[in-house]
Amino acid sequence: MDAVLPQDLAEAHALIERLTASLAEKEAALSHRDDEIERLERILDKYIRRQYGRSSEQLPPEQMALGLEELEAGIAAAKAKAESQDATRVRRHGGKRGALPDHLPRVEIVIEPETQACPCCGGALHIIGEDKSERLDVIPAQHRVLVTRRPKYGCRLCREGVSQPPAPPHIIEAGLPTEAMLAHVLVSKYADHLPLYRQHQILERQGIRIDRMNEA
């Protein structure tokens, strides 16, 4: 519904003052939010510097991991709250729900009536239109195991010649994760602000157990 603008000059001035005060209040809240995020990030940076500083300045690994997880969770919570506040402001100011991106694959489900005979006269019905709606669906992430096999070939004549292709290089020597898995972990941590301990819990739900002390 469109807002009714005041016709009286005094009422218009009063409306402008109220809007200005409301805008100032929102800007102050945003500034406080940004300051809190910056403060948490500074503390996180301090922990990281201490972790990679001289050994005499390092905290115990368990205490360091706990502190980092708490800070990561705090930063993620602060940013999530900020995004929620931004979304609330968009809704209050009449923001429209955007259409789902065209590049996403579509799976169409057509729901036909139980019968195509007219309930009045029994004649055949024909399409005169349709209602169409879209919902966002997800296929849960699936972990898989890449099995690399390197057959050995031997010579039956001399019994000496053996041929086998070399093992492909690994980004982590003798490590379990592939390059794609490491990229997923880093994007989840630094772009999506998903702390490592939460990623650890997600993997455990699928029966994948990784030593916490070896986490990056």
Alpha helices in 93-195 (DSSP H): 179-186
- DSSP letter string over 4-70? PPPSSHHHHHHHHHHHHHHHHHHHHHHHHHHHHHHHHHHHHHHHHHHHTS-GGGPPPHHHHHHHHHH
* Rounded Cα distance, 182 and 208, in Å: 15
Q: Which residues contact 64 (CB under 8 A, 6 or more apart)?
A: 47, 50, 51, 58
CA nearest neighbour of 141 among 193, 194, 181, 105:
181
Q: Where is pLDDT greater, at 39 or 181?
A: 181
Q: What is the overall mean pLDDT for the chain? A: 78
pTM value > 0.75: no
Identify the residue whose tokens are 């500074």: 42
> Is the predicted pLDDT of residue 179 greater than 60, yes or no?
yes
CA nearest neighbour of 184 among 213, 208, 148, 149:
208
Which pLDDT belongs to residue 81?
Answer: 72
> Is the predicted pLDDT of residue 193 greater than 70, yes or no?
yes
In the chain, % of residues over pLDDT 90: 9
**From 2-11, 38-47, 136-145, 173-182, the region with the lowest mean pLDDT:** 2-11
- 70-85 burial, b if ≥16 CB within 10 A, otherwise e? bbbbbbbebeeebeee
Mean pLDDT of 61-87: 67
CB 193 within 8 A of CB 37: no
Q: Where is pLDDT greater, at 32 or 55?
A: 32
> Is the predicted pLDDT of residue 1 greater than 80, yes or no?
no
> Is the predicted pLDDT of residue 53 greater than 70, yes or no?
no
Angle (nearest 5°) at CA 22 between 17 and 24: 95
